[in-house]
Amino acid sequence: MTIRWVGDKQAKEVTVCASFGEWKPMKMVWRTDAWELEDELFPPTGTHTLFFLVDGVRKVDPTAPTVKLDNNKEYNTYCTEPNTVHSSPTVTYLSVPPREHQHHHHHNNHKRAKSHDWASMYHRAFLNQFMIPGVSKHCPLPEDTTTNLSDYRKLVLIMVGLPARGKSFTSRKLCRYLNWAGLECKVFNYGEYRRENLSGFQDSKFFSSNNPDGVKLRDQFARMAMEDCIKFLKEGGGVAILDGTNSTVARRQMVVDFLKGRKELSLKAVFIEVICNDQSVIRENVINAKLSNPDYATIADKEKVLKDFMERVHEYEKTYEPLGTQREDKSYIKIIDVNRQLAINRCYGYVMSKIISYVSNLHSLPRPIYLCRHGQSEYNLDERLGGDPPITEKGLQYAINLNRFFEAEGIKQDMAVFSSTMTRSVQTAVRIGKGAAQYVKWKALDEIDVGICDGMTYDEVKESMPEEFAARSKDKLRYRYPRGESYVDLAKRLEPVIMEIERNMRPTLIVGHQAVLRCLLAYLNNVEQEKMPHITLPLNTVLKLTPHAYGTKVDEFKIPDYEVEKKTSPLRVTQSE
- Output the CA–CA distances (angstroms, integers) from residue 166 to 46, 243, 276, 338, 425, in the order listed: 52, 11, 8, 9, 36
- Is 380 annotated to bind a ligand? Reply is yes
Strand order through the sheet with 369-373: 438-441, 416-419, 508-512, 369-373, 541-548, 551-558, 571-576
518 neighbors 476 (Cβ within 8 angstroms): no
- In terms of Cβ atoms closer than 10 Å to its own Cβ (0-12, 13-18, 19+), residue 306 is middle
- Output the CA–CA distances (angstroms, integers) from residue 67 to 46, 362, 468, in the order listed: 15, 51, 28
Report the C-alpha gap between 222 and 318 in whole angstroms: 20
172 neighbors 256 (Cβ within 8 angstroms): no
- Is 115 annotated to bind a ligand? Reply is no
**Residue 374 falls in the annotated catalytic set:** yes
Which residues have CB under 8 Å from 48's CB, separation 6+?
18, 19, 20, 77, 78, 79, 80
Residue 480's CB: how many other CB atoms inside 10 A? 24
Virtual torsion, Cα 167, 168, 170, 173, nearest 10 deg:
170
- Is 373 annotated to bind a ligand? Reply is yes
355 neighbors 361 (Cβ within 8 angstroms): no
301 neighbors 363 (Cβ within 8 angstroms): no
Task: Write down the catalytic residue from 143, 184, 315, 447.
Answer: 447
**Residue 548 falls in the annotated catalytic set:** no
* DSSP track, 533-556: GG----SSEEEEEEEETTEEEEEE
- Is 377 annotated to bind a ligand? Reply is yes
Task: Write down the catalytic residue from 374, 485, 495, 513.
Answer: 374
CA 106 to chain centroid: 37
334 neighbors 504 (Cβ within 8 angstroms): no
- Is 375 annotated to bind a ligand? Reply is yes
- Is 378 annotated to bind a ligand? Reply is yes
Hey, what amino acid is at 164? Answer: A
Overall size of the chain counted in residues? 577
- Is 324 annotated to bind a ligand? Reply is no
- Output the CA–CA distances (angstroms, integers) from residue 272 to 161, 299, 359, 424, 548, in the order listed: 9, 32, 10, 43, 21
Residue 118's CB: how many other CB atoms inside 10 A? 18
- Is 199 annotated to bind a ligand? Reply is no
Report the C-alpha gap between 80 and 402 in whole angstroms: 48
- Is 572 annotated to bind a ligand? Reply is no
Strand order through the sheet with 267-275: 185-189, 239-243, 154-160, 267-275, 332-336, 341-345
Report the C-alpha gap between 510 and 513 in whole angstroms: 9
Residue 376's CB: how many other CB atoms inside 10 A? 22
| Sequence ranges of the binding site for substrate | 373-380, 424
**Catalytic center residues:** 374, 447
| Sequence ranges of the binding site | 373-380, 424
